[in-house]
Amino acid sequence: MTAVSTPAASPWVVLKFGGTSVSSVANWSNVALVLRARLAEGLRPVVVHSALSGITDRLEQLLTLALSGEWQPVMDQIEQRHRDLARDLGVVPTPDLEEQFRRLRQIASGIALVGEVSERLRARVMAQGELMATRLGAAYLASQGLNVQWVDARTALKAESRRNANLRSTYLSATCAFEPDLQLQQRWSAPGTVWITQGFIASDDAGDTVLLGRGGSDTSGSYFAAKLQARRLEIWTDVPGMFSANPRAVPTARLLCALEYDEAQEIASSGAKVLHPRCIMPVKHYGIPLYVYATQTPNLEGTVITTHGGTAAQVKAVTIKKNITLLSMETVGMWHSVGFLADAFAVFKEHGLSIDLVSTSETSVTVSLDPAANTLDKATLDGLIADLAKLCRVQVIGPCAAVSLVGRNIRAILHRLGDALELFEEQKIYLVTQAANDLNITFVIDEAQGDRLVSRLHEIAIRKMTADRVLGPTWEELYGSPGQAIDTSKQWWHVRRDALLALGREHGAAFVYDRASLEEKAKSLQALSGIDGVFYALKANWHPEILKLFHAHGLGFECVSQGEVQHVLNTLPTIDRKQILFTPNFTPRDEYAWALEQGVWVTLDNLHPLQHWPELFKGRDVFVRIDTGYGRGHHDKVRTAGVHSKFGVPLFEMDELQRLVNAAGARVVGLHAHTGSGVFTVDNWTSVGETLGALTQRFNEVHTIDLGGGLGVPERLGQPGVVLSEFDAALLQIKQAHPHINLWIEPGRYLVAEAGVLLASVTQLKGKGEVQYVGVATGMNSLIRPALYGAHHEILNLTRIDEPATEVVNVVGPICESGDQLGLDRLLPPTQAGDVLLIATAGAYGRAMSSTYNLREPAKEFVI
């Protein structure tokens, strides 16, 4: 067959679908629609897709647990996840898939016997996620009437040999040649056929399985596009393209309609998660256009990446990479010395570590280590420091964040970035680099300041730019249906609109909670068959009427301070004290003593109380909060586990915990963990349950496991939330593994957020150029979440709820702070002074976190 000379004439299109895209029936329905559309264009679709979301992590767990012989529960979960999706898709698992389940169990048993996992075996096991998922995908597409051919990617992608590569990189981070493959083109030339294969995996010259590194499915798609000389590569993910910032952290982020290859690679390398950086080079080499689309909204245009993305000097994105470790190496011996850098960098190579950023002076070199490219456990870091100390003085700095301004001809516009650069006056900057290709400038700062700085840089450098063919609509505009009225008829506040309008007009600002919605949430959680107790996290909202309602529905209460416990006792004087769980953090001795005397459940958050006040706990039953080692959630400030979180006893202190408990004469009867808030995947609670369940072997008097809360609340209208049936199924699996243990959960925001709104009357309107402001009667003094961590709350004009939203405005409050912004770039109908705006999902952490800053009273509260 003659090679296709240009992408425009090629009959192939390669479509890569990520793990989220292939994990639900709704998404698979969209996948089938897209493939039919490509076939209708006369193209030959090649589908490359990932493992089901979360399965790669589960396979990692399988390998770890196999070493101790405790692998069967996680294997059951892996198998059940695929069987559940097969059931939902209406297909029967194929014999090949059944064989993969059997083989995985056989491998896990073998690991348990030999007590070792080689890198070769690790690659073989990790590849099963993609192999299993594509079996289901092929079966579903065939059931939809498509002519499907399943292909093992290892027969087409061959790893390159690399000199001096260690076993880990050889098997787990391989690269492949990607020159046009005429034989592959010939094999896949049948018109009307959908070819389906795997991302992430390839094979070496010996036929062994190798992996392309985490996130390698994008790279697989690019390799196949290059080998087939495809007309285009399409990356289908959960966002409709690349954005000028992470839209979930910066709601004003704008879609990047067109980029050049180098720009896209720089944005991806600097922290954007949409594309893997390694996927750019193969398509760039052959000039193959790369498109990024969202599987959930396939009709949105997305981002196109070509050789003609726009050459104007401008910032196109503000990106952030977190958990960066810096090493500063200092010695006067490097001054005019030949070979110091070579010697120092050789030490990094010996320890298998890849350096990212470098900054030098006459006597100092500072480098960064990116966790995405390195395994930075304590032993590795200690060994590195010990060897570097033979050459120089070493200082470790971290955790840090690398914040980058990415665009075209950055040096040419530095003078226009004065306002943006002034922000660094208040930051401690550890390292600054400016790329030789003039595509970015990067600042490494304290991680705690990273998100705040990204938001402010985006505001100055990008958000105010208009009339640009590269910068498209904001996230809000894409999902806000501009020009059309939003259908809110199913929302409780639409039904109660008249009453809300009356309250808003009378009081100017008011928190309003809907009793029926609160009851519905309480009943839905109490109905879960896998749960023995629901403890409402009081800090979300302690309104007395809400506490009485939840108590009437059988909920207990989780309190974090003596004041909260006392508030429950005052509000509900007849409550059973064992319906109160006290989970303090760094609280003084007197609070523990008081809580123990009250007869409530008391949780220990660290070892200090047992070390210094053991007499308090003699003969007492206590809970212990465990740090599971990983945090989850929608923002750093709500992730409450991991080494950088102040909560919980880490797993490596279990021996000491056990010794101190025994010495104090206490009994551990409950284990508690909370990894974070705003979590939508049930895998979170499964992992927590496995970790705590394993600890019951140590603490055999445990009768209760508290899985924490954190059930995600949708931020936008129409956005899906946690699927309670899936949550219940996960809980039941934990119960089955530990039938004699009570399971508790402690949701807070999930119970009250959507049942509450903040009403605010419009006070003034202002226009400053193209930016329009709508001022309202209250602001961050009532609702601080947007200012504190960029939380998104839907904002609607309740007075004009049925009118089309045609104006983009900033909704701001009366507080004398530039951060007093309730919503930026929001679509509202033409608004007038006196209108009542509604800020949704404000029932949690609204009034509870309010203040009298500027001596302005926060909004009053009403339950209706």
So which residues are the catalytic ones? 816
E-assigned strand segments in 220-276: 232-237, 254-256, 258-260
**Residue the block writes with tokens 């959680």:** 525
Bond from prior residue into 298 cis (ω within 30 degrees of 0): no
Nearest partner of 85 among 146, 144, 26, judged by Cα: 26
- Which token pair is 36? 């039919």
Q: What DSSP line would sit under 34-94, residue for residue?
A: HHHHHHHTT-EEEEEE-PPTTHHHHHHHHHHHHTTT--HHHHHHHHHHHHHHHHHHT-PPP
Residue pair 584/646 in contact by the 8 Å Cβ criterion: no
Distance CA 387, CA 810 (A): 54
* Segment (H or E) for 294: strand 290-294
The 8-class DSSP code of residue 627 comes to: E
- Which token pair is 709? 């809360």
Residues 6+ apart with CB under 8 A from 631: 639, 640, 641, 642, 645, 675, 676
Distance CA 500, CA 497 (A): 5
Distance CA 93, CA 78 (A): 14
Cα-flanking dihedrals φ and ψ of residue 821, to 5°?
A: -125, 120
**H-assigned helices in 318-375:** 340-350
The residue type of 843 is G
The 8-class DSSP code of residue 666 comes to: -
CA separation, residue 478 to residues 69, 239, 315, 473 (Å)? 49, 11, 21, 6
What would you report as the CA-atom Rg of the chain, rounded to the nearest whole angstrom? 28
CA separation, residue 373 to residues 137, 321, 354, 500, 597 (Å)? 30, 12, 7, 52, 51
The residue type of 284 is K
Residue pair 757/719 in contact by the 8 Å Cβ criterion: no
Q: First CA to last CA across the chain, in angstroms?
A: 73
Q: How many CB atoms lie within 10 A of CB 192?
A: 9
What is the Cβ-side half-sphere exposure of residue 47, based on CA atoms within 13 angstroms?
33
Bridge-partner residues for 836, per DSSP? 761
CA separation, residue 376 to residues 326, 382, 526 (Å)? 12, 10, 42
**Residue the block writes with tokens 């990894």:** 675
Residue pair 111/66 in contact by the 8 Å Cβ criterion: yes
Residue pair 791/816 in contact by the 8 Å Cβ criterion: no
Per DSSP, the chain holds a count of helices (H) and strands (E) of 28, 35
What's the CA dihedral at 841, 844, 847, 853 to 10 degrees? -80
**Residue the block writes with tokens 């009943």:** 523
Nearest partner of 141 among 192, 217, 80, judged by Cα: 192
* Segment (H or E) for 760: strand 756-768
Distance CA 494, CA 491 (A): 5
* Segment (H or E) for 397: strand 393-408
